[in-house]
Structure 1
Amino acid sequence: MKKRIKVNTPVPNAQELKDTTTNIFINTLIFVLAGIIIVMGWSIYEKMNSTEQAASTEKSEQKPSEIIQVEVLNGCGVSGVGDTFTDFLRSSKIDVVNTDNYVSFDVDETIVIDRIGNMANARKVAELLGIKPDRAVNQLNSDYFVDVTIIIGKDYFSLTPLN
């Protein structure tokens, strides 16, 4: 018969088992959190990329609306000019929802303001009035319920409605 040789293998004590379990738990937690951070970072990157693409697509494909709602403000102080512009725009199939005075009467050049983020509307109205496209500006305001605001300046006599 063969004799068995007894080899002494160290038996882990309770403290070593606890340390090993804690290390495994911490390493697993670090791995899971790192994965979550990577997924969230990728998600944010994708959303930012898609937002930029959508914004550039919207800007390049803007077309004037079928119905453009306009506000006409008299900024030159000449009586009746706002009504003349309103009549002209309505005859051109533009929906004028408000005609009023501007806060002051010292506006030198007529300005067309885009209120909803569709500059094609403002450019169409500017073209109808005989205004240069560079005087159509973008000034978004969700408090206004119009697409375009026109502030009539002291150059009103040179514009299409009075020619």
Structure 2
Amino acid sequence: EKKDKTIQENKKDERIANQVKNAFGKGVSNDGSRGDSDEGSSTQGNPFGNSSTGEITGVGGYGGYNLGGRGLVGSLPYPEYDNSNDAGIIAISITVDPQGKVISAIATVNGSKGTAFSNPKLRASAEAAARKSRFERSTGSSNQTGVIIYIFKQN
């Protein structure tokens, strides 16, 4: 009788766990959800998405990154603002070596929006901040490319 009661409790716990697990959907597909509008290139619902690979992970706040699942060491360095009223998103194309050091950081039109990209001081600031970023070491011996997104908001 005690054994039957334990089995019933375990089944109940499992059922509750499954209900909680599925409460917010079945999880993320490998494809991601791509939009079909005339504008935008990100995975639908995620400003840091990568439409070509379906990557939908990143970090929120003042910026985010996508480096194929490779983790960030610490946090993204903040870019410096200037006294302009320029705002928007600046996308920085990065190349990271196997040790996790950013060896190239170049602002790119693809993924950038607003007036911030047209401001050379903000572009240079975003590139400098991106070069200070550090990522986890990789087991491979080749460089990896990705993107860092900085969001500039003016007060």
Q: Which of the two has greater strand per residue?
A: 2
TM-score by length of 2: 0.28
TM-score by length of 1: 0.27
Larger radius of gyration: 1
Q: Which of the two has greater helix per residue?
A: 1
